[in-house]
Chains A and B, each alone.
Chain A
Amino acid sequence: MKNNKGYHIIILFCLCFLAVANVNAQSDWQAPAEENEKLSPFLFDDDMVLEGRIAYENSCTSCHGTPGQDDFTPMSPPPGDPAAEQFQAQSDGSMFYKIKMGRGTMPKFEDAFADDELWNIVAYIRSFNEDYKQELPNMEGVVIPEYAMSLSFDENVDKLVVKVFAEELPQPEVSVSAYVMGTFGKHLLGKAQTNELGIAYVDVDPTLPGDEEGKVNVMVKATKEFARAKVEKHMVMAKPTERHSAIEGRHIWSTDRMAPIWLKITFFVSVFGVWFALLFIVFGLRNIKKAREEA
């Protein structure tokens, strides 16, 4: 029996090896036909490219390298450089599918990115291809609702309240993502879906630092199928930041006038104390002179 077990393990290893070899051999990776034809509902604009770039640099560079530099990690099968001709030869739908589903060492990003974020990455990868012309879906007969959004902050529960309308009608099941805009990028506050009243709630961290009045610049995106909208608004919903000058008050590193009191006192009391004693002695020398006659 025991011998048999070892035998099985060897067979198992061989099978595994064959399986791996098989995957290796099958070097070109095809997305299913209907996925292949899928088109981005969004027009790839600079905004999408920028977002895609951030996502790419965080999640893909480690294997695929910087596009155009051919510095992807050597492995089998190779990840390939996204700017390379071979990589670009596939359809948008195929790229979208492969990123979403993954294969072998290529991770599956289905849970990491929402569809619109996956399209951002595709837009970024396409930005390295000068000959690329985006194919947009046939919109004939499709009515794309035009969203309007209203933002408010409920300070009782620290939530950002997003209402999505189209022609005054509340829009349910719209994906809403809210960001706080910073100088060098944006910070994701959270994502939510609108309810049947067209309202989505996003949690706001009450310790988020704002400006002197607690204001932050909020950007909210709403997407559903082909519909897309974006608003930006300065809102009072964060913690006010009190700004202090670095040289305000008394400090060791400040000017002489602004030296710490304890230091001034210590310094001048010691110096004057010692010199007082010295002067006492110097003047006392007169007494020595006076004492020349024995009393």
Chain B
Amino acid sequence: MNETIAKGHLSEEQIDKDLLKNVNWGGKFKLWMGFLTVSLIICLYYYYQQLQNGLGVTGLHDYVSWGIYISNFVFFVATSLIGMLVSSVLGMMKVEWVRPVARIAELVALAFAMVAGLIIITDMGRPDRLLNVFIHGRVQSPIVWDIAVVVTYVVISGLLLYIPMLPDIALCRDKLNNVPKWQQKMYRSLSLGWNNTAKQFRLMNRYTRMLLILIIPIALSIHTVTSWLFAMTLRSGWDSPIFGPYFVSGAFVAGCAAVIIAMFFFRNNYKLKEYITADHFDRMGKLLVLVALVYVYFNINEIIVPGYKANTADAKHVHEMLYGHDSVMFWLVQLGGLVIPFLLILFKPMRKPLPLTIIAVVILAGAWFKRVLIVVPTQLAPYYPIQNVPEGWTGYSPTTPEVAITVASFILVVMIITVLAKLFPVVPIWEVKEDMNHKNNK
């Protein structure tokens, strides 16, 4: 019998108790939030510096104008795509085992997508001119398309988190009597008078299905358009027609890794071993194998096709990667962050929760540096050679403010996930119960 859906021995009350237990503001949470807040404030001090002095405090310059901010943005957009894969593609294919972890995937997606928009603003020297993008933006510009899809994706992800959660919010409203007043009020208004009526379920399912269908093209276009920001520029290393699928496949790798890490965290801290089982990790591991395989395939294409040619600018770019200036990072990322982890998780013992989580951390780190490799080296090899410029413009290294602001984006993501996971149950209670009843009645 399958472990992921075998909860026959749990009573409904037990499930309610287990899954609602985490909706509280315990001491541990306050400590953790305090730590995050202090770190965030330190990082924000650097952002204040950047606001005062402009982008001069970063390592960016005329040649490398997209540094780790944009790499980080690409990484965030990528990671947020997993919500679509898990809840929509697998959900609609009626893959039952994903249901308990679908909400975690949605949380990860929403948090990363929300912060991705903010990262773009940190890359602006004059954020006060943000509105100009909307006033003077050209409809021909992929940047305008990107803004349109990112905003849309955030809204869809939010709705997709919220609407299927209605029964659980109602449960919070009914069962949690010892939470603060404002919180009770919030549950009351957010639950939309949920009463478990058949019609309400019907409506909820209808809207959810609509969203699940909508999110597929939006998620695909959010990352395809992000890749077009690069691919539509005439530059060696970017000027590639497969950049869209290349980015999307890479996104699933990063997203799977992020979800595995989040799953591990919730399972241990929220004591959810009965709900997020070892079998879930095994299956997520297998999913990771699949998406990594596709990504490796695209990587091979991205390298061998331009690299095969003798003396084109693209070939030079690939050669720089393979054995030139960027080779150390390149091989660390490709072998250490992709191929070796991929080979490891082919073996079942490596798909146990702890080893898989460690591998996922390595993959996620590799995925981040991979984005830097995509964004930065190309700008250092323009078609017109870099000449007669200040020293230091022939290279790029991020400064402390840049690193701190990037760290801030991660802190924000963790904060958003933490708060949401404290306000709402991270495992969909009604779906677990439904599953169980379904199984028991068989």
Residues of A within 8 A of B (CB): 252-256, 259-260, 263-264, 267-268, 271, 274-275, 277-278, 281-282, 284-285, 287-289, 291-295
Q: Which residue of B lies closest to A280 (CB)?
A: B210
Q: Which of B173-208 contact A (CB under 8 A)?
A: 192-195, 197-200, 203-204, 207
Hey, which chain A residues are within 8 Å of B310, CB to CB? none
Q: Which residue of A lies closest to B198 (CB)?
A: A294
Query: Does B152 lie at the interface of the complex (its beta carbon under 8 Å from any beta carbon of A)?
Result: yes
B200 engages A288 (CB within 8 Å):
yes
Q: Which residue of B lies closest to A257 (CB)?
A: B138
Q: How far is the CB of B84 from chain A (nearest CB, A)?
A: 14
| B148 contact from A253, A271, A294, Cβ within 8 A | A271
| A259 contact from B138, B156, B199, Cβ within 8 A | B138
**Also in contact, A282 and B159, with CB within 8 A (given A256-B137, A288-B204):** yes
CA of A263 to CA of B232 in the docked complex: distance in angstroms? 15
B203 engages A271 (CB within 8 Å):
no
Residues of B within 8 A of A (CB): 136-140, 145, 148, 152, 155-156, 159, 163, 166, 192-195, 197-200, 203-204, 207, 210-211, 214, 218
A277 engages B210 (CB within 8 Å):
yes
B210 engages A281 (CB within 8 Å):
yes
**Also in contact, A287 and B195, with CB within 8 A (given A256-B140, A275-B152):** no
B140 engages A263 (CB within 8 Å):
yes
Hey, which chain B residues are within 8 Å of A275, CB to CB? 152
| A284 contact from B148, B152, B203, B214, Cβ within 8 A | B203
| A289 contact from B139, B193, B214, Cβ within 8 A | B193
CA of A3 to CA of B159 in the docked complex: distance in angstroms? 101
CA of A274 to CA of B220 in the docked complex: distance in angstroms? 14
Hey, which chain A residues are within 8 Å of B148, CB to CB? 267, 271
| A292 contact from B138, B163, B193, B207, Cβ within 8 A | B193
CA of A277 to CA of B217 in the docked complex: distance in angstroms? 13
Hey, which chain A residues are within 8 Å of B204, CB to CB? 288
B137 engages A278 (CB within 8 Å):
no
Q: Which residue of A lies closest to B144 (CB)?
A: A267
Hey, which chain B residues are within 8 Å of A255, CB to CB? 138
Hey, which chain B residues are within 8 Å of A256, CB to CB? 136-140
B152 engages A291 (CB within 8 Å):
no
A295 engages B139 (CB within 8 Å):
no
CA of A158 to CA of B405 in the docked complex: distance in angstroms? 73
The 7 closest A-B pairs by CB, nearest first: A291-B199, A292-B193, A292-B195, A256-B138, A289-B192, A294-B197, A291-B200
Hey, which chain B residues are within 8 Å of A292, CB to CB? 193-195, 197, 200
Hey, which chain A residues are within 8 Å of B194, CB to CB? 288, 292
Hey, which chain B residues are within 8 Å of A260, CB to CB? 140
Q: How far is the CB of A273 from chain B (nearest CB, A)?
A: 10
Q: Which residue of B lies closest to A277 (CB)?
A: B214
Q: What are 30 A-B pairs at a CB distance below 8 A? A: A256-B136, A256-B137, A256-B139, A259-B139, A263-B139, A263-B140, A264-B139, A267-B148, A268-B139, A271-B152, A274-B218, A278-B155, A278-B214, A281-B159, A281-B163, A284-B203, A284-B207, A285-B163, A285-B192, A288-B193, A288-B200, A288-B203, A288-B204, A289-B192, A289-B193, A292-B197, A293-B197, A294-B195, A294-B199, A295-B199
Hey, which chain B residues are within 8 Å of A288, CB to CB? 166, 192-194, 200, 203-204
Hey, which chain A residues are within 8 Å of B192, CB to CB? 285, 288-289
Q: Which residue of B lies closest to A250 (CB)?
A: B140
CA of A292 to CA of B140 in the docked complex: distance in angstroms? 47
| Centre residue among B137, B204, B207 by max chain A CB count within 10 A | B207
Hey, which chain A residues are within 8 Å of B203, CB to CB? 284, 287-288, 291
CA of A165 to CA of B137 in the docked complex: distance in angstroms? 68
CA of A177 to CA of B156 in the docked complex: distance in angstroms? 76
Hey, which chain A residues are within 8 Å of B140, CB to CB? 252-254, 256, 259-260, 263
Q: How far is the CB of A284 from chain B (nearest CB, A)?
A: 6
Q: Which residue of B lies closest to A278 (CB)?
A: B155
Q: Which residue of A lies closest to B170 (CB)?
A: A292
Hey, which chain B residues are within 8 Å of A281, CB to CB? 159, 163, 207, 210-211
A278 engages B156 (CB within 8 Å):
yes
Q: Which residue of B lies closest to A251 (CB)?
A: B140
CA of A278 to CA of B210 in the docked complex: distance in angstroms? 9
Q: How far is the CB of B196 from chain A (nearest CB, A)?
A: 9
CA of A281 to CA of B137 in the docked complex: distance in angstroms? 29
CA of A269 to CA of B137 in the docked complex: distance in angstroms? 17
Hey, which chain A residues are within 8 Å of B193, CB to CB? 288-289, 292
Extra A-B contacts (7), CB below 8 Å, given A256-B136, A291-B203, A294-B199: A253-B140, A278-B156, A278-B214, A285-B192, A291-B200, A292-B194, A295-B199
CA of A263 to CA of B139 in the docked complex: distance in angstroms? 8
Hey, which chain B residues are within 8 Å of A294, CB to CB? 195, 197-199
CA of A254 to CA of B138 in the docked complex: distance in angstroms? 9
Hey, which chain B residues are within 8 Å of A277, CB to CB? 210, 214
Q: How far is the CB of A4 from chain B (nearest CB, A)?
A: 53
| Centre residue among A254, A282, A292, A295 by max chain B CB count within 10 A | A292
Q: How far is the CB of A11 from chain B (nearest CB, A)?
A: 50
Hey, which chain A residues are within 8 Å of B199, CB to CB? 291, 294-295
Q: Which residue of A lies closest to B155 (CB)?
A: A278
| Centre residue among B166, B193, B198, B211 by max chain A CB count within 10 A | B193
Hey, which chain B residues are within 8 Å of A253, CB to CB? 140
CA of A114 to CA of B136 in the docked complex: distance in angstroms? 64
Hey, which chain B residues are within 8 Å of A289, CB to CB? 192-193
Q: Which residue of B lies closest to A275 (CB)?
A: B152
Q: How far is the CB of B223 from chain A (nearest CB, A)?
A: 16
Hey, which chain A residues are within 8 Å of B139, CB to CB? 256, 259, 263-264, 267-268
CA of A259 to CA of B193 in the docked complex: distance in angstroms? 48
| Centre residue among B138, B148, B152, B218 by max chain A CB count within 10 A | B138
Hey, which chain B residues are within 8 Å of A271, CB to CB? 148, 152
CA of A291 to CA of B211 in the docked complex: distance in angstroms? 20
